[in-house]
Amino acid sequence: MDLLEYQGKQLFARHGLNVSPGHVATTVDEAVQAAADAGYPVVVKAQVLIGGRGKAGGVKLAANEDEVRTHASNILGMDIRGHTVHTLWIEHASDIASEYYASVLLDRSASAPLVIFSVEGGVEIEEVAHNSPDKLVRRHVDALDGLSHAEALAIATEGQADEDVREGVAAALKALYETWVAEDASLVEINPLIVTPERQVKALDAKVTLDDNALFRHPDNQGLSDTANEDPIEHHAHEQGLQYVKLDGDIGILGNGAGLVMSTLDVVAQAGGAPANFLDAGGGSDAAKITQAVEVILSNPAVKAVLFNIFGGITRCDEVARGLITAFEQIKPQLPFVVRLDGTNDVAGRALLADAKLPNVHAAHTMNQAAEMVVALAAGLPVPGTDDASVGS
Ligand code: GDP
Ligand code: MN
């Protein structure tokens, strides 16, 4: 479970990390009240489960009430790479002397926790790893011993944190490690970890992922899964038991099995298209489930064409075909569909579809062909390699 920034900061504060006091707001008026409580200047921050909010215009400083109103009304409802902003976090703005980076995660290949620290914060850590790998300190921690003060200080020193704040950085790293262990997190990340002109070390951002399998040990954290901030389409899909992730393209995708769906996304991207979602209908998809899946895919207004990529193993292609026919009868979709059925009962499945003469449904025999067809259809171009809307093998 991923937490919003402000929820992550609450956990950080529990373990002694410095964070700025602030308040949540869901309306412009609440934002004004929150800003008055936090004290000007404030920073108005979109609360969405995706990074890069600053670059997208979702993080703005405000010196007075007028500016809070402007920024709050701009940011509420904003779409940040497929995530709609419903919640703001307003905190007292910090002055920044330096932006560092710190994180703790599990390094599975080393079977050990890994602490990462850099004085090059505020940018994507992958960028730092690429451009200045010498500025990145990676240190494994003995899970039984934990992170000692001496080790934390050694990381700050090796990372060349300003000398006068090395103790402060070490304390922050220890608190971050404590958070990771005590809250059963799989990732805790602070970017940026700032040094203020007063030389205080403070978490300006928070990215926390909790291990769902350990949530039963943390009754306090169980309420953190914030369905209001979940994308409404994702929320609906999850209620139906569908594995759905909204993406920002225009080609709806449905497949069976996470691996197949992921490679479908890749093949569509390779063909020049942009997937609108990940949707794994799972094994043994029956007609009802396919109908639900089609409804979920089409509830995203960005979708211009849909690709069904089914490889029948446990899933029987004739079941999928029946599901598709039922879905079409109920929903009467206006969009083009490309269907690739392969594997168990594929001949029967394709025959069913051909008999049904569904409008605007195109059959494909390979994944690559299916991808090229759906990309053309989404762009409103003629379909390569087929005659018309007929389906058949
Ligand atoms: P992200 O873009 O989603 O990672 O959001 P962050 O919370 O990291 O904020 C993005 C950037 O906004 C930070 O790297 C800072 O440069 C800036 N920022 C955020 N909060 C403050 C603040 O209190 N004061 C100042 N001066 N800048 C801030
Ligand atoms: Mn950040």
Give residue 138's domain range: 98-221
Average pLDDT of 207-220? Answer: 91
Coil, strand, or helix at residue 192? strand
Diameter over CA atoms, the chain: 77
In a domain, 194, yes or no: yes
> Which residues, 6 or more positions from 101, have their beta carbon under 8 angstroms from its beta carbon?
116, 117, 118, 119, 120, 121, 122, 125, 128, 189, 190, 191, 192, 193
* Residue 282 shares a structural domain with residue 369: yes
* Residue 165 shares a structural domain with residue 193: yes
User: For 339-374, how does the pLDDT look when each residue is reduced to its tens digit (9 = 90+)?
Assistant: 999 999 999 999 999 999 988 899 888 899 999 999
CA torsion sign, 308 to 82 to 381 to 297?
positive
Q: What is the mean pLDDT of the chain?
A: 92
* Residue 83 shares a structural domain with residue 125: no
User: What residues are annotated to the active site?
Assistant: 101, 189
In a domain, 13, yes or no: no
Higher pLDDT: 3 or 284? It is 3
Ligand nearest to the backbone CA of 38: 1
Asked if 264 contacts 310 with a C-beta cutoff of 8 angstroms, the reply is no
Nearest CA to ligand 1 atom 8: 205
* Residue 246 shares a structural domain with residue 352: yes
pTM: 0.70
In a domain, 63, yes or no: yes
Nearest CA to ligand 1 atom 14: 122
Asked if 339 contacts 363 with a C-beta cutoff of 8 angstroms, the reply is yes
Atom nearest to 50 CA in ligand 1: 3
In a domain, 248, yes or no: yes
What pLDDT shows up at residue 208? Answer: 96
* Residue 240 shares a structural domain with residue 383: yes
The domain tally of the chain equals 3
Nearest CA to ligand 1 atom 26: 95
What pLDDT shows up at residue 37? Answer: 96
CA torsion sign, 128 to 134 to 137 to 139?
positive
Which of 39, 60, 92 represents a domain boundary (last residue)?
92
Asked if 59 contacts 46 with a C-beta cutoff of 8 angstroms, the reply is yes
Name residues contacting ligand 1 (CB within 6 A). Answer: 43, 45, 51-54, 59, 61, 93-94, 96, 99, 122, 191-192, 204-205
HSE-CB of 97 using CA atoms within 13 angstroms: 12
Tell me how far apart the alpha carbons of residues 310 and 293 are, in angstroms, rounded to a whole number. Answer: 13
Average pLDDT of 105-116? Answer: 96
Which of 187, 221, 255 represents a domain boundary (last residue)?
221
Tell me how far apart the alpha carbons of residues 84 and 231 are, in angstroms, rounded to a whole number. Answer: 7
Q: Domain holding 82: CATH number?
A: 3.30.1490.20
In a domain, 154, yes or no: yes
74: alpha, beta or left? (left if phi > 0; alpha if psi -120 to 50):
alpha
CA of 233 to the centre of ligand 1 (A): 29
